[in-house]
Structure 1
Amino acid sequence: MAVISVRGLDAVVSKDESLGEEVVEGNIDACKESVRSHEHDDNASYDEPPSLTHPMESRVVRKMDLYLVPLMCMLYFLSNLDKSNIGNAEVAGLSESLNLTGNQYGNCVTVFYATYIFFDPIGANLLKIIGPKYMMTGCLICFGAISLGTAWVKDYGHLLLVRVLLGAFEATIYPSINMYLSICYRREQYAIRFAWVFFAACISSSFGGLISYGCSKINGSLNAWQYIYIVEGCISLGFAPFYALGLANNLEESWFWTAEERQYIVDRYETMSTFNPADKFEWSQVWLAVKDLKTWVSAVALFCIDMTAFGLTVFMPIIITSMGFSSVNAQLMTVPVYFLTAITFFACAYVSDRIRIRSPFIVGACISCATGLAIVLGSDVHGVRLFGIFVLALGIYVNASMNCLWLSGNNGNYFKRATALGINLFVGSSSGLVSGQIFRAEDKPRYALGLAICLGLQVFAAMLTVVQYYMYRRLNKQKQALIKRCEELDEPIPHDEHLSDMNPQFKYMY
């Protein structure tokens, strides 16, 4: 930071001297013209260090919003579409066509997460090593091709295999997007950007219902569930060129920057608490994340939260059929549910970024989910149970996403943050292994056992979030006390680059 201040000060002095010379040698109008030419010259330098209030900040953020966020949204849209389509395929007759018996369908849901949880911690670290362009494009091509190929599976064994492969390539998408946004945006800026990403996921779930409805009307030689996989796999593959051409491996090398903006991006890194391009992979950073108690408390909370998210994503169309809807109409009914989820998360993310607080939104979302689950469980009236689904939808993505953003924003070094996020997602995604077993075939279509377990876990997740809040609050007070003591003794505030967020100058978000 000191280097930046000196650099910024040098720029101010240099310009003041330049303007002073112009005033002496020329007239006022000539001076004004010189200033205007500096302002419009793309190669002109700026006078102050990059910051949230710098005029260039809004310019570069606007360009990232325009060119990069849509790519992240579409990538998560496609990933979510191909991940959750097995639920719509089941309603469209998957089990009957493949002669699935007992809990074989649940096993196919579960096995997806066997590879999914293994690659979660790896994906976040690989993004910086391989580069966003190659990693995201490659994964998109692979999971799109696998989804397309699922249309021709012949039996239970084939379905298990493609679900394992799908999990391997889709597991890297969520951590990659999360880490990429932390490279592009300051931690006070990226919740609202992630809201757009999750909005895309919600729309994806709705869009999947519409595709399923459309495929059910096709009178062809294949089954409706096969057309679902064909259409959705082709959509994913069709978008691959946009990532190959639209992304750069280093943010400052993106095609849409001017020379001045590119320099600002490079200098901006030094004022961000979430990314330093000089960060190199070190096992010490991995160890710092592993031994941090906050990492594990957050991870267990995400496990509790994701049990509902993973279970409902796959089994919601089946639950809705128990309310008297036909299989086709049940798919359509998921559309307004996920749309409400998207709108709620967008509103929460906007307010969260504005006031720079995360924990109250996680707790509130957990309470909303628990309330909705209680309504669905406790009533036999179809209208009341459907209302419970909508109450559940208010929080189903807010708590999961805010949990990850909170942890990510409170870790400084890239590889410490990547490891902490990877552990978080590893533990959270492992709930997918359990969800396929607690939503048992014999409980179909109401799934009382699965819903009751999810209800209890949502309450526990809210409690763990409160624990995290007090942990961060206590650490901030300790840091502030250390800074105050150093100031009183006129001693330098200790700082170690390797300690990143553990340095006294780093303030945790609540």
Structure 2
Amino acid sequence: MSPSLEAASDEKVHHADPEVVSVTQENVYRPEVDTSGVKERRLMWKIDLHTVPWLAFLYFLNSLDRGNIGNAKLYGLETSLNITDKQYLIALTVFFFPYALFELPSNLVLKQLRPSRWLAFIMFVWGMSTTLQGVAHNYGGLVALRVILGLAEAGLYPGIVYYLSCWYKRTELGTRVAFFFTSATIAGAFSGFLAVAIHKMDGIGGKPGWAWVFILEGLFTVCCAVATYFILSDFPDTAKFLSETERVWVIRKLRADMKFSASGEKFKVTYVKQALLDWKTWLAMGIYMGFDGPLFAFSLFTPTIINQLGYTSTAANLLSVPVYVWACIVTVIVGILGDRLGKRAAINLALFTTGLAGYIILIASKNAALSYFAVYLAAASIYPTVPNSVAWVSSNVEGSYKRGAVLAMAIGWGNINGAVSSNIYRAVDEPWYRMGHGIVLAYIAIGWLSSLAYYFLLRRENARREAGERDEVIDGVDNKFAHEENGHFESVEKAREEKGDEWSGFRYSL
């Protein structure tokens, strides 16, 4: 180990008790606070209960309101609004442009305005947009409301991921992301049941059943938006449900896990610039592209695909339920394994391989039962890959603003591919939709290749840091490996603060 790393070695050890980091060091957060009485397991349960369940519920509503147009389509939305299949696809497409482009600014605003305020506001807007889709009278109105829906929903997913990364260690994040993301699979399953139930209101108030799907689900989101302002806590250093001692303990724990900015960080444009110039950002965008394109195609068209295999509209909605239940189970299992094993690259490659197999079967199959089985393979690939990739990417970016920017860029680029995948299942290609399945297959291949490159480049960079090639010049530290081109700093702490994950002592997780 090079001398600069030795000087900071006790700062990098991942201890069960973050206070094990010596209180004689200047970098210890609030050294005057005694946290020896904090019980870790009890405190983590407390944090979990105040963050994960409500965030999962919000994402459930997000997924429900984004995808319910697929259920409404089966009950006559196109006929009632007198729109063609092409116009329907355009209405799906326009959602994704604001959905992708607004994610980066949304994450920066979230940090400034606090999660409780910002997430409640965007929820209110998308809830109203969903509700108004139920009273739309024409194609233009539907398109306008889908644009507003995309603009408002853009901030939730990257905001939640960023928010959780500010609360949990790298070895804790995957399980929490998996649990919150399973709400998307539950939404997929529940939307089928809900659409069948709500459709029974057909004719009430002069509204068709598909309209009530939008109205009732949208109004419920609006009510939950108001509740979010009062329920959701903000960041660890200001969380009211924690005592002062608990807040200090959490921040020390995060700093011991190389999350140096855990106690607060002032915004600098340079953090966004670092995100733009970092090669990891661009490979992360490839990984997200590999699962987000398939994700949106899957969630929007699963009922339609099953319907075209020979099942009625109601049966298609109901047969989509067990697919999502299976996806939910696999996502939770993979999330837990990812945190315990830490082999996120291997997990990603295995999941993408499963997806490749599923879509190859869908392309080749002319049997409804075999195609339905392949849908399960696809679900078991796409949904678990999301939280595993999120945890992997976020754990390799240090600095709260940089991490927020990287996540927003990766998620935004992934989401904009939904504009492509929402147009690939055309009515002219039914019932086997081979063109659509082929394009999804290409997306998954991109994700597989990007994951492989990300792994090998991270491993190479870790090896260079172990060899001292990235060591900075630190005042007062005699280090024969130090290079001026790596930076000159007055202390190790300053190097950590300025360079984030580019600091020579930072190690990437594989």
TM-score by length of 2: 0.87
Mark the runs of 5 or more structure 2 residues left unpaired by the alignment: 1-7, 12-18, 27-31, 472-476, 483-490
Moved more, 187-196 or 122-131: 122-131
Q: Deviations over 1:218-258 (max 9, x none)?
A: 24232111111112112212322431112233334333223
| Corresponding position of 1:326 | 312
Moved more, 429-438 or 380-389: 429-438
Contact residue 186 and residue 325 of structure 2 kept, 8 A: yes
Out of 443, 452, 455, the position equivalent to 2:441 is 455
> Which residue identity is paired with 2:403?
R
| Corresponding position of 1:87 | 70
CA distance in 1, matches of 2:254, 2:367: 56
Secondary structure at the aligned position of 1:7 is classed as coil
Aligned pairs for 1:404-419 within 5 A: 404-419=390-405
| Corresponding position of 1:32 | none
Check 1:413–1:493 CA distance in 2 against 1; reply closer, same or farther (3 A cut): closer
CA distance in 2, matches of 1:262, 1:420: 26
Check 1:60–1:380 CA distance in 2 against 1; reply closer, same or farther (3 A cut): same
CA distance in 1, matches of 2:456, 2:355: 23
The alignment status of 1:205 with 2:213, answered yes or no, reads no
> Which residue identity is paired with 1:254?
A
The alignment status of 1:159 with 2:142, answered yes or no, reads yes
Aligned pairs for 1:344-493 within 5 A: 344-482=330-468, 489=480
CA distance in 2, matches of 1:65, 1:487: 44
> Which residue identity is paired with 1:119?
F
Contact residue 237 and residue 264 of structure 2 kept, 8 A: no
> Which residue identity is paired with 1:248?
S
Query: Which structure carries more relative contact order (alpha carbon 8 Å, separation 6+)?
Result: 2
Secondary structure at the aligned position of 1:505 is classed as coil
Contact residue 100 and residue 416 of structure 2 kept, 8 A: yes
Out of 34, 39, 43, the position equivalent to 1:60 is 43
Contact residue 133 and residue 244 of structure 1 kept, 8 A: yes
CA distance in 2, matches of 1:505, 1:387: 47
Secondary structure at the aligned position of 2:386 is classed as helix
Following TM superposition, by how much is the alpha carbon of 1:46 offset from its aligned partner in structure 2, in angstroms?
2.6
Moved more, 345-354 or 428-437: 428-437
Larger radius of gyration: 1
The alignment status of 1:46 with 2:21, answered yes or no, reads no
> Which residue identity is paired with 1:108?
A
Following TM superposition, by how much is the alpha carbon of 1:271 offset from its aligned partner in structure 2, in angstroms?
2.6
The alignment status of 1:139 with 2:128, answered yes or no, reads no
Following TM superposition, by how much is the alpha carbon of 1:333 offset from its aligned partner in structure 2, in angstroms?
1.1
The alignment status of 1:506 with 2:495, answered yes or no, reads no
CA distance in 2, matches of 1:250, 1:385: 45
| Corresponding position of 1:36 | none
Sequence identity (%): 28
| Corresponding position of 1:295 | 281
Secondary structure at the aligned position of 2:311 is classed as coil
Secondary structure at the aligned position of 1:396 is classed as helix
Q: Deviations over 1:386-420 (max 9, x none)?
A: 11111111111122332222111100011111111
CA distance in 2, matches of 1:159, 1:420: 32
Q: Deviations over 1:360-390 (max 9, x none)?
A: 1111111111111122221111111111111
Following TM superposition, by how much is the alpha carbon of 1:325 offset from its aligned partner in structure 2, in angstroms?
0.9
Following TM superposition, by how much is the alpha carbon of 1:320 offset from its aligned partner in structure 2, in angstroms?
0.3
Q: Deviations over 1:104-124 (max 9, x none)?
A: 111011000011011111222
Following TM superposition, by how much is the alpha carbon of 1:328 offset from its aligned partner in structure 2, in angstroms?
0.7
Mark the runs of 5 or more structure 1 residues left unpaired by the alignment: 11-42, 48-53
Secondary structure at the aligned position of 2:200 is classed as coil
CA distance in 2, matches of 1:103, 1:145: 26
Following TM superposition, by how much is the alpha carbon of 1:277 offset from its aligned partner in structure 2, in angstroms?
3.3
Check 1:190–1:8 CA distance in 2 against 1; reply closer, same or farther (3 A cut): farther
> Which residue identity is paired with 1:277?
S
The alignment status of 1:248 with 2:233, answered yes or no, reads yes
The alignment status of 1:225 with 2:241, answered yes or no, reads no
Following TM superposition, by how much is the alpha carbon of 1:484 offset from its aligned partner in structure 2, in angstroms?
11
Secondary structure at the aligned position of 2:375 is classed as helix
Check 1:143–1:454 CA distance in 2 against 1; reply closer, same or farther (3 A cut): same
Contact residue 106 and residue 441 of structure 1 kept, 8 A: no
Out of 304, 313, 326, the position equivalent to 1:340 is 326
> Which residue identity is paired with 1:106?
L
Q: Deviations over 1:86-113 (max 9, x none)?
A: 1111111111111111411110110000
Secondary structure at the aligned position of 1:279 is classed as coil
TM-score by length of 1: 0.87
Contact residue 133 and residue 243 of structure 1 kept, 8 A: yes
Superposition CA RMSD, Å: 2.4
